[in-house]
């Protein structure tokens, strides 16, 4: 019996350090591989951000340009002719705004959902205010009366729509710098 105990004791004496070394090696290799994977992910993210950051900044620039182009006083100066009726001017303004918006719709891919919602709602609010001013001048007024009412409105409180959208775009762009 003493011989059987000594064989088991000897095996335990040999196997215990082996098992301990195996467990330590396993844990160290596992940690090493985990760290290596994290480093690779960081490298991929860094490479990705160096590619997407210029695209995001370009998207913010294009959206700022969108709101500069759709400011109503600027559009009136660009679109209005003497032979237009007030309805023609309203239609031309709405078409120009919609075209500018559609031209930049792909920029939503590079901006946050909340910013895109602000942009979309700003466009809709411009349409609403154009229609409200048409109602205010009773549809029958000439183009001069309608355009003057629009210019007066959008250089005052009505211009807040574009200013707020521009502010939101700039604030989000600053987060990426």
User: How does pLDDT run across 115-149, given as a tens digit for each residue?
Assistant: 999 999 999 999 999 998 888 887 666 788 888 88
For residues 14 and 24, what is the distance between their CA atoms, to the nearest angstrom?
A: 16
- Structure tokens that stand for 92 in this block: 């031309």
CB 79 within 8 A of CB 93: yes
For residues 52 and 133, what is the distance between their CA atoms, to the nearest angstrom?
A: 41
Q: Do the domain assignments include residue 4?
A: no
Q: Do the domain assignments include residue 36?
A: no
- pTM, to two decimals: 0.70
Q: Do the domain assignments include residue 32?
A: no
Number of domains into which the chain is organized: 1
Q: Do the domain assignments include residue 145?
A: yes
Q: Do the domain assignments include residue 21?
A: no
Residues of the chain with pLDDT under 70: 1-5, 48-49, 139-141
Q: Do the domain assignments include residue 60?
A: yes
Task: Return mean pLDDT, the chain.
Answer: 87
Q: In this predicted structure, what is the pLDDT of residue 95?
A: 94
For residues 67 and 7, what is the distance between their CA atoms, to the nearest angstrom?
A: 87
Q: Do the domain assignments include residue 5?
A: no
Q: In this predicted structure, what is the pLDDT of residue 60?
A: 93
Q: Do the domain assignments include residue 33?
A: no
What domain range is 112 assigned to?
53-175
């Amino acid at each position: 019996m003493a011989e059987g105990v000594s064989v088991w004791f000897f095996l335990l004496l040999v196997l215990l350090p082996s098992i301990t070394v195996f467990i330590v090696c396993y844990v160290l290799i596992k940690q090493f591989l985990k760290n290596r994977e994290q480093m690779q992910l960081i490298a991929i993210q860094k490479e990705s951000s160096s590619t997407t950051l210029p695209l995001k900044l370009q998207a913010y620039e294009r959206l700022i340009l969108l709101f500069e182009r759709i400011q109503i006083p600027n559009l009136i100066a660009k679109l209005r002719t003497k032979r237009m009726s007030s309805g023609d001017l309203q239609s031309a303004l709405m078409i120009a705004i919609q075209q500018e918006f559609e031209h930049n719709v792909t920029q939503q891919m590079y901006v946050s959902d909340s910013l895109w919602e602000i942009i979309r709602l700003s466009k809709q609010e411009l349409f609403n205010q154009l229609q409200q001013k048409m109602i205010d001048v009773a549809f029958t007024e000439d183009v001069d009366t309608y355009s003057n009412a629009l210019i007066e409105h959008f250089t005052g409180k009505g211009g807040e729509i574009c200013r707020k959208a521009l502010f939101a775009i700039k604030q989000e762009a600053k987060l990426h710098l």
